[in-house]
Amino acid sequence: MLTTESVVSVAEAVRRTELDRRLLTDEIAGRSDEALAAPYTVNAGPLGDACDSLRDLVAHVLMWDEISLAVLTEARAVRRHWSLDPRWETREAGQMLNASGVAAGRELPVGLLLHRFASVHDALLAELGSYSEAEWHAPVPFDADTGRSVGSLAQYVMTVPRQHPYWHAAIHLRRLSAMGADQG
Protein backbone atom coordinates (compact mmCIF):
# COMPACT_ATOMS: atom_id res chain seq x y z
CA MET A 1 0.00 0.00 0.00
CA LEU A 2 1.29 3.47 -0.90
CA THR A 3 0.33 6.56 1.02
CA THR A 4 -0.83 9.73 -0.64
CA GLU A 5 0.32 12.49 1.70
CA SER A 6 2.34 15.35 0.20
CA VAL A 7 6.03 14.70 0.68
CA VAL A 8 9.00 15.75 -1.38
CA SER A 9 10.73 13.06 -3.42
CA VAL A 10 13.75 11.18 -2.14
CA ALA A 11 15.94 13.03 -4.63
CA GLU A 12 14.61 16.40 -3.45
CA ALA A 13 15.11 15.47 0.23
CA VAL A 14 18.72 14.52 -0.52
CA ARG A 15 19.26 17.68 -2.61
CA ARG A 16 17.91 20.02 0.06
CA THR A 17 19.78 18.31 2.87
CA GLU A 18 23.03 18.39 0.91
CA LEU A 19 22.65 22.06 -0.05
CA ASP A 20 21.62 23.08 3.45
CA ARG A 21 24.55 21.40 5.18
CA ARG A 22 26.95 22.62 2.47
CA LEU A 23 25.78 26.15 3.26
CA LEU A 24 26.87 25.67 6.88
CA THR A 25 30.11 23.95 5.86
CA ASP A 26 30.93 26.87 3.53
CA GLU A 27 30.14 29.36 6.30
CA ILE A 28 32.62 27.75 8.69
CA ALA A 29 35.31 26.93 6.11
CA GLY A 30 38.69 28.51 6.78
CA ARG A 31 37.73 29.93 10.17
CA SER A 32 39.95 29.32 13.15
CA ASP A 33 38.68 27.54 16.24
CA GLU A 34 38.57 30.92 17.96
CA ALA A 35 36.54 32.47 15.12
CA LEU A 36 34.06 29.59 15.23
CA ALA A 37 33.56 30.13 18.97
CA ALA A 38 33.30 33.92 18.64
CA PRO A 39 29.91 35.60 19.01
CA TYR A 40 27.82 35.12 15.89
CA THR A 41 24.14 35.98 15.63
CA VAL A 42 21.97 33.31 14.08
CA ASN A 43 18.28 33.47 13.36
CA ALA A 44 16.58 31.63 16.22
CA GLY A 45 14.18 28.87 15.30
CA PRO A 46 10.66 28.53 16.71
CA LEU A 47 11.99 26.78 19.82
CA GLY A 48 15.08 28.91 20.21
CA ASP A 49 18.35 27.20 19.60
CA ALA A 50 20.83 28.36 22.29
CA CYS A 51 23.33 29.29 19.57
CA ASP A 52 25.77 32.10 20.28
CA SER A 53 28.41 31.17 17.70
CA LEU A 54 28.94 29.21 14.50
CA ARG A 55 30.36 26.39 16.61
CA ASP A 56 27.07 26.31 18.52
CA LEU A 57 25.12 26.22 15.25
CA VAL A 58 27.18 23.25 14.05
CA ALA A 59 26.43 21.44 17.32
CA HIS A 60 22.74 22.30 17.05
CA VAL A 61 22.32 21.10 13.46
CA LEU A 62 24.47 18.05 14.21
CA MET A 63 22.30 17.02 17.15
CA TRP A 64 19.14 17.15 15.04
CA ASP A 65 20.87 15.30 12.19
CA GLU A 66 21.89 12.57 14.64
CA ILE A 67 18.32 12.30 15.88
CA SER A 68 16.97 12.24 12.30
CA LEU A 69 19.44 9.53 11.29
CA ALA A 70 18.51 7.47 14.35
CA VAL A 71 14.77 7.87 13.63
CA LEU A 72 15.26 6.53 10.09
CA THR A 73 17.58 3.74 11.25
CA GLU A 74 15.09 2.65 13.90
CA ALA A 75 12.20 2.83 11.42
CA ARG A 76 14.08 0.56 9.03
CA ALA A 77 14.45 -1.90 11.95
CA VAL A 78 10.70 -1.57 12.68
CA ARG A 79 11.24 0.29 15.93
CA ARG A 80 9.93 3.67 17.03
CA HIS A 81 12.70 6.09 18.04
CA TRP A 82 12.49 7.63 21.52
CA SER A 83 12.10 11.13 20.08
CA LEU A 84 8.71 10.19 18.61
CA ASP A 85 7.27 9.43 22.03
CA PRO A 86 4.70 12.08 23.02
CA ARG A 87 6.80 13.04 26.05
CA TRP A 88 9.46 14.39 23.64
CA GLU A 89 6.97 15.98 21.25
CA THR A 90 6.57 19.15 23.29
CA ARG A 91 7.93 22.67 22.93
CA GLU A 92 9.66 22.35 26.31
CA ALA A 93 11.38 19.09 25.37
CA GLY A 94 12.54 20.63 22.08
CA GLN A 95 13.97 23.61 23.93
CA MET A 96 15.79 21.33 26.37
CA LEU A 97 17.21 19.27 23.51
CA ASN A 98 18.38 22.42 21.73
CA ALA A 99 20.11 23.77 24.84
CA SER A 100 21.71 20.46 25.82
CA GLY A 101 22.84 19.68 22.28
CA VAL A 102 24.63 23.02 22.02
CA ALA A 103 26.10 22.62 25.53
CA ALA A 104 27.44 19.17 24.61
CA GLY A 105 29.04 20.58 21.47
CA ARG A 106 30.84 23.22 23.52
CA GLU A 107 32.54 20.44 25.47
CA LEU A 108 34.21 18.99 22.37
CA PRO A 109 37.32 20.31 20.68
CA VAL A 110 36.27 22.03 17.44
CA GLY A 111 38.12 19.49 15.30
CA LEU A 112 36.20 16.58 16.81
CA LEU A 113 32.89 18.44 16.53
CA LEU A 114 33.51 19.14 12.83
CA HIS A 115 34.58 15.53 12.21
CA ARG A 116 31.39 14.30 13.87
CA PHE A 117 29.31 16.78 11.83
CA ALA A 118 30.88 15.57 8.56
CA SER A 119 30.48 11.89 9.48
CA VAL A 120 26.83 12.26 10.45
CA HIS A 121 26.18 14.36 7.34
CA ASP A 122 27.58 11.59 5.12
CA ALA A 123 25.61 8.90 6.96
CA LEU A 124 22.38 10.87 6.80
CA LEU A 125 22.71 11.49 3.07
CA ALA A 126 23.50 7.80 2.53
CA GLU A 127 20.44 6.77 4.54
CA LEU A 128 18.14 9.17 2.69
CA GLY A 129 19.56 8.12 -0.66
CA SER A 130 19.15 4.43 0.08
CA TYR A 131 15.37 4.58 -0.41
CA SER A 132 13.66 3.99 -3.73
CA GLU A 133 10.61 6.18 -4.42
CA ALA A 134 8.39 3.16 -3.71
CA GLU A 135 10.05 2.60 -0.32
CA TRP A 136 9.85 6.34 0.38
CA HIS A 137 6.08 6.30 -0.06
CA ALA A 138 5.48 2.94 1.66
CA PRO A 139 3.96 2.99 5.17
CA VAL A 140 6.36 2.96 8.10
CA PRO A 141 6.01 -0.56 9.54
CA PHE A 142 5.42 0.57 13.12
CA ASP A 143 2.96 3.27 11.98
CA ALA A 144 0.97 1.21 9.47
CA ASP A 145 -2.33 2.14 11.10
CA THR A 146 -1.71 5.87 10.48
CA GLY A 147 -0.59 5.47 6.89
CA ARG A 148 2.54 7.57 7.57
CA SER A 149 5.19 6.80 4.98
CA VAL A 150 8.96 6.67 5.41
CA GLY A 151 9.16 9.89 3.40
CA SER A 152 6.63 11.69 5.58
CA LEU A 153 8.44 10.48 8.71
CA ALA A 154 11.76 11.76 7.34
CA GLN A 155 10.15 15.03 6.34
CA TYR A 156 8.59 15.40 9.79
CA VAL A 157 11.78 14.79 11.75
CA MET A 158 14.01 16.79 9.40
CA THR A 159 11.84 19.89 9.12
CA VAL A 160 11.99 22.85 11.48
CA PRO A 161 8.43 23.39 12.75
CA ARG A 162 6.34 25.56 10.42
CA GLN A 163 9.17 25.88 7.89
CA HIS A 164 9.96 24.52 4.44
CA PRO A 165 10.96 20.82 4.50
CA TYR A 166 14.61 19.86 4.96
CA TRP A 167 16.05 23.36 5.42
CA HIS A 168 17.77 23.88 8.76
CA ALA A 169 21.09 25.74 8.57
CA ALA A 170 19.66 28.03 5.88
CA ILE A 171 16.95 29.15 8.30
CA HIS A 172 19.44 29.92 11.07
CA LEU A 173 21.85 31.64 8.66
CA ARG A 174 19.00 33.70 7.14
CA ARG A 175 19.61 32.26 3.67
CA LEU A 176 16.37 30.41 3.08
CA SER A 177 15.34 32.52 0.07
CA ALA A 178 18.79 32.04 -1.49
CA MET A 179 18.19 28.28 -1.37
CA GLY A 180 15.04 28.59 -3.45
CA ALA A 181 12.90 27.56 -0.49
CA ASP A 182 10.09 29.80 -1.69
CA GLN A 183 9.48 27.02 -4.23
CA GLY A 184 8.25 24.68 -1.48
Break the chain into its structural domains and give their ranges.
10-183
8 Å CB contact between 169 and 20: yes
Per-residue pLDDT of 132-155, as tens digits, reads: 999 999 998 886 556 689 999 999
Instruction: Look at residue 41 in the predicted model and tell me its pLDDT.
Output: 87
Q: Quick one: 177 exposed, middle or buried, by C-beta within 10 A (0-12, 13-18, 19+)?
A: exposed
The CB-based long-range contact list for 35-38 (8 Å cut-off, 24+ gap) reads 36/110, 37/110
Residue-by-residue pLDDT tens, the chain, 184 positions: 344 458 999 999 999 999 999 999 999 999 999 999 999 988 876 555 689 999 999 999 999 999 999 999 999 999 999 999 999 999 899 999 999 999 999 999 999 999 999 999 999 999 999 999 999 999 988 865 566 899 999 999 999 888 889 999 999 999 988 777 654 4
Is the model's pTM score more than 0.75? Answer: yes
Which CATH number is 10-183 given?
A: 1.20.120.450
Check residue 184 and give its pLDDT.
46
